[in-house]
Structure 1
Amino acid sequence: MTHSRPAVRSLLDDHGLAPRRDLGQNFVVDPNTVRRIAELARVGLSDHVVEVGAGLGSLTLALAETGASVTAIEVDRGVVPVLRDIVADAGVDNVAVVEADAMEADWNALLDPGVDGGWTLVANLPYNVGTPLVCDILDDVPQVTRLLVMVQREVAERFAAAPGSKAYGAVSVKAAFWGRAQIVGFVPATVFLPAPNVESALVEITRREPPTVDPVRLFDLVRTAFGQRRKMLRKSLAGVVTESQFHDAEVAPTDRPENLDVDAWVRLTHTVANR
Structure 2
Amino acid sequence: MTLTRTQAVALLEAHDLAPSRALGQNFVVDPNTVRRIARLAAVGPGDPVVEIGAGLGSLTLALADTGAEVTAVEVDRHVLPVLREVVADAGVRVVEGDALELDWAEVLAGHPSWTLVANLPYNVATPLVLDLLDDVPAIGRMLVMVQREAGERLAAEVGDAAYGIPSVKVRYWATARLVGRVSAEVFLPRPRVESALVEITRRDAPATAADPERLFALVRAGFGQRRKMLRRSLAALVDDDAFTAAGVRPEARPEELSVEDWGRLATASPG
Cα distance in 2 for partners of 1:231, 1:108 equals: 42
How big is each residue's C-alpha offset from its partner over 1:238-268, in whole Å with a ceiling of 9 and x where there is no partner? 1101111111111111000000011101101
- Give the alignment partner of residue 167 of structure 1, picking from 162, 165, 170: 162
- Give the alignment partner of residue 249 of structure 1, picking from 246, 249, 255: 246
1:201 and 2:208 correspond: no
Cα distance in 2 for partners of 1:53, 1:253 equals: 44
Displacement of 1:219:
1.5
| Unaligned residue ranges in structure 2 (runs of 5+) | none
How big is each residue's C-alpha offset from its partner over 1:185-204, in whole Å with a ceiling of 9 and x where there is no partner? 10000000000000000000
Cα distance in 1 for partners of 2:129, 2:62 equals: 22
Cα distance in 2 for partners of 1:228, 1:148 equals: 31
How big is each residue's C-alpha offset from its partner over 1:31-90, in whole Å with a ceiling of 9 and x where there is no partner? 0000000000001113100100000000000000011111100000000111111111xx
Displacement of 1:170:
0.7
The one-letter amino acid paired with 2:232 is K
Cα distance in 2 for partners of 1:216, 1:124 equals: 30
Output the aligned Cα RMSD.
1.0
Partner of 2:217: 220
- Give the alignment partner of residue 111 of structure 2, picking from 109, 115, 125: 115
Count residues in correspondence: 269
Query: How does the TM-score come out when normalised to structure 2?
Result: 0.97
- Give the alignment partner of residue 102 of structure 2, picking from 87, 102, 105: 105
| Unaligned residue ranges in structure 1 (runs of 5+) | none
Matches within 5 A, 1:6-25: 6-25=6-25
- Which secondary structure does the structure 2 equivalent of 1:173 belong to? helix
The one-letter amino acid paired with 2:167 is S
Partner of 1:268: 265
4+ residue segments displaced more than 6 Å: none
Matches within 5 A, 1:1-275: 1-88=1-88, 91-93=89-91, 95-112=92-109, 115-116=111-112, 118-208=113-203, 209-210=205-206, 211-273=208-270
Identity %: 63
- Which secondary structure does the structure 2 equivalent of 1:171 belong to? helix
The one-letter amino acid paired with 1:126 is P
